[in-house]
Amino acid sequence: MPQQVLAGFHAVIARVRFSAASVREVYVDQTRRDKRMLAFIEQVEQAGLKVMAVPVERLDGLAKGTRHQGVVALALEQELAVDVNELLDDLEEAGQVPFLLILDGVTDPHNLGACLRSANAAGAHAVIAPRDRAVGLNATVSRVACGAAESTPYITVTNLARTMRMLRERDVWLVGTSDQATHTFHQVDARRPMAWVMGAEGEGMRRLTRETCDELVSIPMMGAVESLNVSVASAVCLYETLRQRSQA
């Protein structure tokens, strides 16, 4: 099974909590003995894992440019859902109402990591993105996601519009955001099976993606800025679903 690099306190601790057995090696900066590092080492060792103190140059080489904070781990890739239909089948069998986030062409790993983190926190079942014109999972995404990349499925598809049509056929309501929409995201019935659809940084949703949505809504902007970063917009909408479902 392929290995992946986890860099930073949050990413490594999240994997240790989620699946300690998948962690193969944990390295720390041999010069750090501050309170945070000592607490990290204690937590990892309590999970039955060995911590190896190494020169920071070794960590830099493993992290390959990702900010590691003096902590790097090598772990087996987690087997999360990789097929949308299988995910929907599993949710139906478990009696859960689908709650998804679709990202149309997000290329910034920091934005993807933040979107995954928000999706995980709000209880979304998966994040879906096109295989092309989008960033994949890497060490930067894992670090920013603070463990969400290891526990929330990130499903990439060959044809996003076709996948969206399949979701509609399976009664998943597709809601996109647009500053031209006549009503706001607060007016969406988010208790039904649904997916929020977000566009890429700067460009927004592609035309076919926008036309495939069942509904377009706006996020009210009361200040001088015209739009929100895609990760912030995703968090706002995801938590609207959480709010409505919690009240229900």
Tokens 């092309």: give the residue: 132
Distance (Å, rounded) from C-alpha 116 to C-alpha 235?
A: 10
Cα Rg of the chain (Å, integer): 19
Q: Are strands 71-76 and 23-29 parallel, antiparallel or unpaired?
A: antiparallel
Q: Is 228 annotated as a binding residue?
A: yes
**Nearest partner of 14 among 119, 112, 149, 110, judged by Cα:** 149
Residue 219 is labelled as binding a ligand: yes
**Is 216 annotated in some ligand binding site?**
no
Structure tokens at 228: 């929100």
CA angle 169, 170, 175 (to 5 degrees): 80
Phi/psi for 50 (5° steps) reads -90, 140
In angstroms, the Cα distances linking 248 to 145, 163, 177, 215 are 28, 29, 24, 22
- Quote the CA–CA distance of 148 and 120 in Å, as a whole number: 6
DSSP 8-class letter at 155: E
Cα dihedral 150, 151, 157, 161, rounded to 10, equals -140
Annotated binding site for S-adenosyl-L-methionine: 199, 219, 228
Residues that constitute the known binding site: 199, 219, 228
